[in-house]
Amino acid sequence: MAVYNMLKEWDEFIAGSESGNSQTYKQGYVITAFLNVYDTTGAISGIIRFDNFFLQEISDIQMDGTSSGQVAVSVTFSYDRAVNGRTALR
């Protein structure tokens, strides 16, 4: 729930559920994100950098008690550019 709550706060900052407006311009809520790609031995075989990465949509979770299984949360992210390879660390 801690991760879900952080993502919901980020989503609310980007576009408020009441107002539909952002708290700031795009540069105030985007980050640079990195995705490590691992090989079968567990060593990093590549890195992808995502520029101007931000949360686009997060699904609501249902806590009605009808299921005792895992809770799946669907999150969609957006980014302006992906850089693959060694240049991703710059």
Domain borders along the chain are: 2-61+70-89
pLDDT of residue 67: 64
Confidence of residue 7 (pLDDT cuts 50, 70, 90): very high
Query: Looking at the predicted structure, is the pLDDT value of residue 66 above 70?
Result: no
CA distances from 51 to 6, 42, 64 (A): 20, 25, 38
The reported pTM is 0.77
Please give the average per-residue pLDDT across 18-42, as a whole number: 89
pLDDT band at 34 (very low <50, low <70, confident <90, very high): very high
Interatomic CA distance for residues 63 and 77, integer angstroms: 24
41-53 pLDDT, tens digit each: 999 989 999 999 9
